[in-house]
Structure 1
Amino acid sequence: MQHKHIFRSIRITLWGIAGVLACCLAGCSKDFLDRGALDAVTNESFWETEAQLEQAVNGCYAYLKGKNVVDMEKLADNAIYPPMSDYLAISTGNYDFTLGTLNSEWANQYAGIRRCNHFLENYRKAQGIRDEKMNQFAGEVRFLRAFLYSYLSFFFGDVPLVTNTLNIGDEQVYGPRTPRAQVADFILQQLDSAAAELPVSYDAADLGRITKGAALGWKSRVALFYGKYDVAEAAAKAVMDLNEYHLYTAGGANSYNELFSHKGRLSAGANKETILARLYLIDVATHNMSRECQVPDQTSRFCPTQSLVNTYLCTDGMPIEKSPLYNEGAQQEYADVFENRDPRMAQTILAPGAEWGGKDDGDQDAAPSAIFNLPKFNSDKKGCVTATGYYFTKYVEVSAVGTYNKDQNDIHIMRYAEVLLNYAEAREMQGKLTQADLDMTINLLRDRVGMHHMILSELAAWGLNVREEIRRERRVELALEGQRYFDILRWKQGSLLAEDVKGMKKAFVPGYMQPYVESVPVDADGYMIVNSNRRFVDPKNYLWPIPLTQVQRNPALGQNPGWE
C-alpha cells in the first residue's frame, strides 16, 4: 500500500502534458492522435468529473521546480563548477540577452502559467463535486501560478501579467510588461486565496500536494524579497501557528544532514519539517544530485567555496575572525579547518573521516575507501576531483553516488526552518526583534545541532551586527538549497558576486598533489583563486535581460536598464 501512496504522490508532480493528455483520453473510441492537446480541450465533455479535474491539476504540477532549485545555488557564491555554463556566466556577470537559460526560464514559466490559467477558466464547469474539493484544486493551481510568477519577477522584474489563456493572434500576446510591483501584489493576493482554499494536510495517498502552509510560507518568502516585512512576518507567524510543522530531529545529532538523505524523505514518515518538496521515485522519475556532488570519475558539479566555509561560526558562537577557538596561523593541515566549528559545517561540507562515495581521494597513503581523508585534484578517473578543495555531503546519499541518475531523494523547495528564519529577519528589519524572537526561531535551529545560541547581548559585546548575523544564519542553514542568489539580490549585495571565487589554502595540498594545482593562482593569504574576472554592475545585474527571442517576438516588451 505504501508503494501505491508514493507512486500517487510522485505522479502528482511529474505528469507532463503528454501524460495528462493520455489519461484524459483513456477509454475514448476516437484515436487520441486525432485529438488536440489538453490546453486546447475546452468542451464540456472533459470538465465534468473530479477525476478529470485532478488530472488537469496534476498537469500543472509538472511545472513545479525540482532539482533545478539546487542547481541555482551555482548562481551565487556558495558553490561553483568551473567549466563554463549558463549559471556560471550569470554568476560572473559575463553574459548577454542571447544566453539560452534566460529564454528557457521565461518560456517554461509561461508555459506553466498558461496551463494554470486554462484550468482556472474551466474547472467550475464540473458538476456534483464537493466545494471543499473544488476549492482545494483551485488553491493548488493558484499557488502554482503564483510560484511561477515569483521566479519570473525575481529574474526579470517587470513581466507580462497574464491571467487568461492566450492564443496566437490575441492582442495581449504582443502587449507590454506589467510593473513588477503590480505583479508582486498579484502573487501575494493569489497566495492569500490559495491559503484560504487549501487544507492544512492530506492523508498519505496525497503526500506531496500543496498545503495551506505552503501558500503562507511562500508568501513570507515573496514578501521578504519585495521588502514587505510586516506581510512576511505575519505570513511566517501564520505558518508557525498552524502547529503542523516542526524541525526534523529523528537523526539525533546528525538530524540536519539526515533530513536531506533518503531517511528524511516525506514518504519515510518522520519528516514534519518540509513544507513543499518535489518528490522522486525509482522507475518513475529520478535525478542525479548525489552523484553530481561526489562523482567518482570526474570533477564535482557542486564545489563548496572558501567563502561558504568561512561563514560558519566557531562553537562558541563567534566568527572565525574573532573566536579564540580558530587560529588560522596555527593550522597545519586540511582537517584543522573543520575543528571547533558549527556542527552544520561538517553536516554540509565533507570533513575528513566522513563517509563518501567518491572512491579514490587525495590521500596517497590510504587505499581508496568509503572514508574521505583529503581532497583530490588530479583527474585520473579514479576518484572525485574538486576545484576548491571541498565537497558537499548535504544532499548526498552515498549509495546513489555509484549509479547514474538513480537518486530518488526529495528536493526540498521550502521547509519550516526557512519560515523561522523569515520571521526573525522580518522582525529585525522592522526594528522589532527581541531575544524571545531569536529563541523561538534561530535558536531552535541551533539547538538541533547543539550549537551556541544567538544572544543579542553577546552580539553587542562582540561588536557584531545583528542583521548581518541573521543573514549569516540564513546562509548556513539554507546552503545548497538554491536561495543564496535571491538573498544577495534582495539584500542589494551584488558586489559579492564580483569577488574572486576562492578555494582552500594551497599550502594544505600535499606535496605529491601540488603539481596538479601549480598553475592555480593564490591570493595574499595563500587561498587558491578558482574563478576571477567577475563583475556585477549596479543596478544592471540585479535583473536578467529580457531574452532576445522574446523581444524579437514582441518588441513591446522592451529591455531592462543596462541591457539595451
Structure 2
Amino acid sequence: MKNQNQYMNSRRSFLRSTGMLGAAAMIPSFFLSACKKDFLDRQPLDSVTDISFWKTEEQLKLAVNACYNNLRGNNTIAMENMGDNTIYPPNSEYQAISAGNYDFTTGTINSEWVNLYAAIRRCNHFMENYTKATGISATVLAGYAGQVQFLRAFMYSYLIFLFGDVPLITKTLDIGDEEVYGPRNKRTEVLDFVLADLDAAAAALPTTYASATDLGRITKGAALAWKARVALFFEQWDIAETASKAVMDLNVYALYTAGGTAKAYNDLFTYKGKLSAGANKETILARPYVAGVSVHNTSREIQVPDQTSRYSPTKSLVDSYLCTDGLPIDKSPLYSETTYANIFKNRDPRMAQTILSPGSAWGGQDDGDADATSNSIFNTPKWNADKKGCITGTGYYFTKYVEIPAVGVVSQDSNDIHHIRYAEVLLIHAEAKLEKGTLTQADLDKTINLLRDRVGMKRMVITELAAAGLDLRTEIRRERRVELALEGQRYYDIMRWKAGELLAQDVRGMKKSLVETFNQQYVATIATDASGYFVVNTGRRFVAPKNYLWPIPITQLQKNPALGQNPGW
C-alpha cells in the first residue's frame, strides 16, 4: 500500500504540474465531496467527484461559472509589457520576453502552460458530463455547452498563439491515460478544433441574455468575434472577414459614444463604461468586476502614487498617433516638440484619452512640477524617487483604464477588463479585406472611419494617403495600435505580422532636454540616444524564426520528453 500511495501521489503531482489534472485548489468546493470508504474504493481526492453532481440546471450553472474563473483578468493588460507600447523599467519576466532575454526556464512560460491546460481540463470535464442533467430543454443545455466550448477555444487559442504545436486534449485525463505522455498535435490541427468549437458555440448561444444576472456571459457575438480574431492571427482572411461581418450584421453592438468626442473613448475604460452601467453596447466580451466583491489593481498600477508606474508608454507608442490633419508627426506641419505640452497638441484625440497630457486629472499625487505637494492635476512628469508621487519610466503616463479614486487604494479597482470590443471587430474586417485586396473606401467608412468619428478625428481616405506617400497597410496597422493600446494585444500583433524586429529596438522615452531644469538632477544618469531621447531599455534582441514561438517549458519537457522543443530553443 505504501508503494501504491507513493506511485499515485507522484502521478498526480505530474498531472497537476502540467495542468492536465486539476488540483483540489483549482476546483470549486461544490465539485468536491467527502468520502470515508477504503482507499481502493473511494474517488481520488484531487479529482472531480461526479456521483451526486450533474443532475440539475443549478448544478450545471455552477459548473459553467467555474469555467469562467479562468477567463483572464487584468493579466490581459499586464501582457502589454511584452510588446513595444509599454515598459515597466524594473526587470520583470514580461519585459524579459519583450527583450528576447528569456528561455525555457522562465516561470511565466510554464505558468501559462499549466494554467491554460488546467482551464481546458475543467471545460473538458463539463463537456463529458453536462448531458447527464435532466429536466432541461435542449436549447438551454446547448447554451451552457456553448459557453464552455467558447472558453475551451479561448484557452487553446492562447496556447497556439504562444507555443505553436501543443497537445490537443479533449477529455479529462486520469492517472494511467497514455495521452499524458503523448506528443504535441500540429498547430493547424488545434486551430481547426478551435474554429469548430467556436462554430458550435456561435450556433448554440443567444445574441443577448434577458436577465441582469447573466451580465457578462458569453454570447453568439463573442464566439464570432473571437473566431475573427483567431482567423486574423493565422491569416485566414476569408474566415476573418466572414466572422467579423457576421458580428456586424447582428445589429447588437455599437461604438460607445456617451460623453461625446472628447471623453467617450476614455470613459469606456472607466466605471462609466462598465457593462453593468448599461450604456456600453461596444464590449462584446469582458471580465466584469464588482466593487467589494471582485476587484483588481490596474488603476493604481498605472499611476501608483509612491513608486514607478507599471505601465510607462514608450516613445514609439506616443509617436504613432497621427496629427489632426491625418499625417504622421514626421510629415505634418502641425507637430511641434518645442515643449513637453506641445507633444500633445494637434494630435489624434485618442492620444490625450490614452496618454496623460498636461492639465489632466490624475491620481499619482505629487507630479514633477516645482510644487512638491500632492496634485490632482498633472503638469509634468516626475523623476524624483522620493515616494511622494508616481514616477515615470519614459516621461509618459497612461490615463486609459484609470479610475482616479481607485489609484489611492490597493486592489480596490472594479473596472471591467475588456477582452474584445466592437471596435476590434471593425478593425479585423478592414484588415482582412485589405489583405484580400478587396478593401474600398466604402469599407473604410463602415469600419475605421467610425472609430475616428467617435473621437472627432479626420477620416482615413485612401486617395489622400496615396497623395501623401503613405502606405495603406501601415496606416491600418497604426489604427489598430492606437485604438487597442493597453489592451494586451500589441505583442500578438507583432507576432502575426512577423515584425519581431520592432522588439529588438531600444526602448526610448521623451527628449531629455524637455525635462525641467529643477528635475535634470534626477535624470542625469539616464542614457540618451544621438537625438537626445532617453534610452530606457537596451540590449534587446529578436531571433527569427525562433522568437516567434515560446519554448516548451523545461518543467514540461522533463516530465514528458515526447513533447519535443520548438526550433532554436
Same fold (TM over 0.5): yes
CA-CA distance at 1:332 after TM superposition: 2.5
The counterpart of 1:230, out of the listed 226, 238, 244, is 238
Partner of 2:75: 68
Aligned letter for 1:392? Answer: F
Q: 1:17 to 1:198 in 2, by over 3 A?
A: farther
**Superposition pairs of residues 42-61 of structure 1, within 5 angstroms:** 42-43=50-51, 45-61=52-68
Measured in 2, the distance between the counterparts of 1:346 and 1:22 equals 46
Tell whether 2:250 aligns with 1:242: yes
What per-residue deviation string (whole Å, max 9, x for no partner) do you get for residues 95-116 of structure 1? 1100000110000000000010
Partner of 1:88: 95
Aligned letter for 2:67? Answer: C
The counterpart of 1:214, out of the listed 200, 222, 229, is 222
CA-CA distance at 1:524 after TM superposition: 1.6
Q: 1:452 to 1:29 in 2, by over 3 A?
A: same
**Superposition pairs of residues 312-391 of structure 1, within 5 angstroms:** 312-327=321-336, 331-365=337-371, 367-391=373-397
Measured in 1, the distance between the counterparts of 2:405 and 2:43 equals 44
Partner of 1:278: 287
**Superposition pairs of residues 30-49 of structure 1, within 5 angstroms:** 39-43=47-51, 45-49=52-56
Tell whether 2:495 aligns with 1:489: yes
Tell whether 2:434 aligns with 1:428: yes
Aligned letter for 1:468? Answer: T
Deviates more, 1:227-236 or 1:358-367: 358-367
Contact 1:17 1:59 in 2 (8 A): no
Measured in 2, the distance between the counterparts of 1:489 and 1:143 equals 23
Q: What stretches of structure 1 move > 2 A for 4+ residues in a row? A: 16-26, 28-31, 34-40, 365-368
Contact 2:287 2:418 in 1 (8 A): yes
Aligned letter for 2:252? Answer: E
Measured in 2, the distance between the counterparts of 1:399 and 1:138 equals 39
Give the secondary structure class of the aligned counterpart of 2:286: strand
Give the secondary structure class of the aligned counterpart of 1:332: coil
CA-CA distance at 1:321 after TM superposition: 0.9
Measured in 1, the distance between the counterparts of 2:35 and 2:394 equals 60
Give the secondary structure class of the aligned counterpart of 2:419: strand
CA-CA distance at 1:39 after TM superposition: 4.5
CA-CA distance at 1:127 after TM superposition: 1.2
**Superposition pairs of residues 365-514 of structure 1, within 5 angstroms:** 365=371, 367-514=373-520
Measured in 2, the distance between the counterparts of 1:322 and 1:332 equals 16
CA-CA distance at 1:167 after TM superposition: 1.3
Contact 1:112 1:145 in 2 (8 A): yes
Measured in 2, the distance between the counterparts of 1:433 and 1:89 equals 38
Contact 2:32 2:48 in 1 (8 A): no
Contact 1:20 1:55 in 2 (8 A): no
What per-residue deviation string (whole Å, max 9, x for no partner) do you get for residues 181-207 of structure 1? 111111111100100011101121100
Number of residue pairs the alignment of both structures matches: 541
The counterpart of 1:555, out of the listed 548, 561, 565, is 561
Partner of 1:101: 108
CA-CA distance at 1:283 after TM superposition: 2.5
CA-CA distance at 1:19 after TM superposition: 9.1
Give the secondary structure class of the aligned counterpart of 1:40: coil
Measured in 2, the distance between the counterparts of 1:17 and 1:73 equals 31
Give the secondary structure class of the aligned counterpart of 2:265: helix
Give the secondary structure class of the aligned counterpart of 1:285: coil
Contact 1:233 1:427 in 2 (8 A): yes
Partner of 2:13: none
Tell whether 2:128 aligns with 1:133: no
What per-residue deviation string (whole Å, max 9, x for no partner) do you get for residues 411-435 of structure 1? 0011100000000000000000000
CA-CA distance at 1:367 after TM superposition: 4.5
Measured in 2, the distance between the counterparts of 1:25 and 1:376 equals 51
What per-residue deviation string (whole Å, max 9, x for no partner) do you get for residues 320-341 of structure 1? 11111114xxx33110100100
Measured in 2, the distance between the counterparts of 1:159 and 1:25 equals 30
Tell whether 2:203 aligns with 1:196: yes
Give the secondary structure class of the aligned counterpart of 1:155: helix
Provide structure 2 residue ranges, at least 5 long, that are not aligned to the other structure.
1-22
Contact 2:24 2:46 in 1 (8 A): yes
Aligned letter for 2:376? Answer: A
**Superposition pairs of residues 243-322 of structure 1, within 5 angstroms:** 243-253=251-261, 254-322=263-331
Measured in 2, the distance between the counterparts of 1:420 and 1:38 equals 44
Contact 1:424 1:437 in 2 (8 A): yes
With the length of structure 1 as denominator, give the TM-score of the two structures. Answer: 0.94
Aligned letter for 1:71? Answer: A
Measured in 2, the distance between the counterparts of 1:193 and 1:163 equals 15
What per-residue deviation string (whole Å, max 9, x for no partner) do you get for residues 190-233 of structure 1? 10010001110112110000000000000000000001001000
Measured in 1, the distance between the counterparts of 2:327 and 2:361 equals 28
With the length of structure 2 as denominator, give the TM-score of the two structures. Answer: 0.93
Partner of 1:12: none
CA-CA distance at 1:24 after TM superposition: 5.0
Contact 1:39 1:115 in 2 (8 A): no
Tell whether 2:225 aligns with 1:183: no
Measured in 2, the distance between the counterparts of 1:375 and 1:162 equals 50
Aligned letter for 1:304? Answer: P
CA-CA distance at 1:23 after TM superposition: 3.6
Measured in 2, the distance between the counterparts of 1:438 and 1:362 equals 42
Measured in 2, the distance between the counterparts of 1:121 and 1:158 equals 24
Aligned letter for 2:530? Answer: A
What per-residue deviation string (whole Å, max 9, x for no partner) do you get for residues 65-106 of structure 1? 110100010000000001111101100001110000011000
Measured in 2, the distance between the counterparts of 1:288 and 1:350 equals 19
The counterpart of 2:172, out of the listed 161, 165, 175, is 165
Measured in 2, the distance between the counterparts of 1:354 and 1:283 equals 28
Contact 2:32 2:49 in 1 (8 A): no
Contact 1:21 1:38 in 2 (8 A): no
Measured in 2, the distance between the counterparts of 1:350 and 1:293 equals 11
Contact 2:365 2:373 in 1 (8 A): no
Provide structure 1 residue ranges, at least 5 long, that are not aligned to the other structure.
1-15
